[in-house]
Structure 1
Amino acid sequence: MSADSPHEVGERVAARRRARRLTQTGLATASHVSYATVRAVERGARRPSDDVLEAIAATLEVDATQLRTGYVGTERRVHRALPELSAVIAGYEFPQGPPTRTPDGLAEAIDTAVAWRLAAQYGRIADAIPSILGDAIRYVHAARSTDHRAAARMLAAAARTADAIAFKYGERDLSARLIDLMRWAADRSGDPLVQAATAYVRTEVFFAARAHAVGLAALEQAIEAAPAPSSRSEAAARGALHMRAAVIAGRGGNVGGADIHLTHARQLGDQVAREGVYLGTTFGPDSVRIHEVSVAVSLGRDHVDRALRVATEWKPPTGLPAERRSGFYIELARAQDWAGLQADAFESLKVARAAAPQHTREHPWAREVAGSLRRFHRADAEGLSHFAHWIGAV
């Protein structure tokens, strides 16, 4: 059951509707929901059913979790999509007929799905990505030789987006296969920046296996192979690899290695100067600050002060992708819990949930901290219990 009141859900629906410049009648017509229902939902007089919530969310172009934090339909949508994804990639090396979309239509669909990934809208990804990925595979095989590299770049982006839901929902074997597909596409793209992005994503395999030393070696090899940072996109590609290397070095207890890579990432962030999304990876000075917290938490309890110092001086701007902002507050909550700042930790978890509910709900560290707070912290006990039930910590 949602911890949100019908009034809170209604306020979110109304705010999103106004932001889209829709009237209540327009929202009702576009979502195929009666005007009376839309009006009652916005007034808080009615709690929308899952079907109504999904219809309204689709029209407002948000994930349903942005409207009701206790919504669990996203999990159902993701798990329904996973077997289809597995079937789609089973024979990716072989031609499977022409794509159903035009190249321009496919590129637009992939760009939209990438935006959903950065916004942690996993339900929307699940609904669309099997078809998109299937078309991307078909296009690689059907494209003219002059278009083959561009088709391979598109396939790499589609596979990465599919991996976002496989990895976050614990389907490690499927995630590894999608990363293999991404590597296959990256090799065919002949684009060193796509290959760098693939190496960044491949680190998930090493995180999952706790193979931190091997993962660090793989990233350092990718850094050596990456192009010199003579342009903003090249600097961002190399900087993202250094950020990832710093975190995996921290997970392995390698303080020196973590600090070296973080220093390089900071220098490249300054060179890039402004935050942006480069081949599907967010990089810039703000992302580096977020990774400073991530590295400190990765190094363990003895380095909590490093994380708290960053958070005292700086907060992620709202313009950053939702998933990255949510990740910052989840890791900050872990540091605050370790430091005995339980009330602050709970506030950080709530900020993470507001930024990206589904990302927070599926994050194991968020669940760990919520469980710890519920056991040992009594202030706001009712709110904590609601949160712990929502996130699955009880």
Structure 2
Amino acid sequence: MPLPDDDHTGSRIREQRRLHHLTQQQLADRVPYSLSLLNQVECGARRALPGLVAAVAQALGVNASDLTGPPAVTSLPPDRLVALVAPIREALDRFDLGPIPDLPAVRPARALAVAADALCQQVRATHLRAAATALPVLLLELTHTVWTAPSTEAWRALASSYRTAHDVALKLDHPDLARIALDRMGWAAGRASDPCIEAVQRYKRATLWRCATSTHLIAAGQALLEGQTSREALAVTGQLHLGLATVAAKQREATAVATHLAAARDLAGRVGGEAGDVHWLSFGQVNVRLHELGASIAMRQFDTALGQARALAVPDTILTSRRARYMVDRALVEMEAGSPKTSLRYLAQARHVAPEQTRHLPGTRTTIRGLVHMSRRAPDSLGGMARWIGL
């Protein structure tokens, strides 16, 4: 079943009506408007006037903004989201202001490097709030350290922490802040003189933008690693090919997708095993297959994606963030195949494994909206899931 591509007030009225287990006739009976008008509004043939929106909101017991808004992408209340993000933004702004004398204490560089790696691990384990809470202090300590006692280790740890800031900001739907964090990562990585970290920064920028410029960014990352044969360099180079496959999939360039997936598959064989320890990229054969699935979804080749998803066994050893992403992708393709119960089951599994990440993944919202549109009356489990993501 194709996904509904409408996102107007009428479509949101339809979603909320179904989530409240009402037919069109039952909702029309509760508002001073005709069934015919309600039907035309829901399908987008007529505009939803303010009076109708207010009446429907009152009948359903929801806020009018839930029907007219852009749809919310996070269930965190705005004040709590700001409380998480604002300190990260402030810490990023201190990057070029020199030492920070008002810090109560600063850990040694080695301890800061260990803490930076631990925060990367927390994000991959999808503990987003914990990572976001600890990140600002770490950024300030590292910023102070690179200005007062610069070292390669400190610069690497700072670049890694900026990368974590990008990941957290993106997962909390702050792409503007994610871009700033990547700029800071590039600044620190250049001073660390670490080509692998610089290449990872190019990869992150490319997958954030996913436009024509992205291929040039990844090519620049590949040039940094040209001729290097270490396990680290091979894994990062392979991830760059996966990034190119992702960009090509968005542009529906199937030949380029196949070429870059083949190159990544070859490099994964040379790396051996799943290189989850290399910059937390989780590069390996499983990750290649996960990107293959993602590419098929991006190109809307859902029959192919369904076969790939059902043939893919994701081991428990894979990072939690990757397993949760697979479950959401699986839910999406099962919904597209007309298997709502299976789709909802995988969404529930993703929520159990990684609730914070699952709540914010765009695929979660897309799948739930699709399931609501498939159902004349949404089951309680689907309604609960929709409320959980703020639909």
TM-score (norm 1): 0.75
Match of 2:37 in 1: none
Counterparts in 2 of 1:318 and 1:77: CA distance versus 1, 3 Å: farther
Contact between 2:84 and 2:129, CA under 8 Å: does it hold in 1?
A: no
How many angstroms does 1:228 deviate by?
3.3
State the SS of the aligned residue for 2:282.
strand
In our comparison, the structure showing a higher alpha carbon Rg is 2
Match of 1:359 in 2: 357
Contact between 1:239 and 1:268, CA under 8 Å: does it hold in 2?
A: yes
State the SS of the aligned residue for 2:349.
helix
Residue type at the aligned position of 1:325? R
Match of 1:220 in 2: 219
Matched ranges for 1:363-378 at <5 A: 363-377=361-375
Match of 1:106 in 2: 112
Deviations 1:122-141 (A, max 9, x none): 11012100001111111111
Contact between 2:94 and 2:143, CA under 8 Å: does it hold in 1?
A: no
Match of 1:244 in 2: 243
Match of 2:132 in 1: 126
Deviations 1:77-111 (A, max 9, x none): 55313111111121312312366111122122112
Match of 1:46 in 2: none
Counterparts in 2 of 1:140 and 1:221: CA distance versus 1, 3 Å: same
Match of 2:88 in 1: 85
The answer to whether structure 1 residue 201 and structure 2 residue 204 are counterparts is yes
Match of 2:257 in 1: 258
Q: How large is the RMSD of aligned CA atoms in angstroms?
A: 2.1
State the SS of the aligned residue for 1:281.
coil
Residue type at the aligned position of 1:199? R
In 1, the alpha carbon distance for the partners of 2:339 and 2:265 equals 28
In 1, the alpha carbon distance for the partners of 2:214 and 2:76 equals 34
Match of 2:290 in 1: 290
How many angstroms does 1:357 deviate by?
0.8
Deviates most, 274-283 or 98-107: 98-107
State the SS of the aligned residue for 2:93.
coil
In 1, the alpha carbon distance for the partners of 2:81 and 2:320 equals 19
In 2, the alpha carbon distance for the partners of 1:78 and 1:142 equals 33
Contact between 1:78 and 1:123, CA under 8 Å: does it hold in 2?
A: no
How many angstroms does 1:185 deviate by?
0.6
State the SS of the aligned residue for 1:277.
coil
* Matched positions, count: 314
State the SS of the aligned residue for 1:228.
coil
Counterparts in 2 of 1:189 and 1:240: CA distance versus 1, 3 Å: same
Match of 1:141 in 2: 147
TM-score (norm 2): 0.75
The percent identity for this pair of structures is: 27
Matched ranges for 1:1-394 at <5 A: 78-97=81-100, 100-144=106-150, 148-207=151-210, 212-228=211-227, 230-275=229-274, 276-300=276-300, 303-377=301-375, 381-393=379-391
Counterparts in 2 of 1:346 and 1:200: CA distance versus 1, 3 Å: same
In 1, the alpha carbon distance for the partners of 2:78 and 2:264 equals 35
How many angstroms does 1:378 deviate by?
5.8
Structure 1 portions without partners, runs of 5+ = 1-70
In 1, the alpha carbon distance for the partners of 2:122 and 2:79 equals 17
In 2, the alpha carbon distance for the partners of 1:368 and 1:126 equals 26
Deviations 1:109-158 (A, max 9, x none): 112111101111011012100001111111111224xxx22211101111
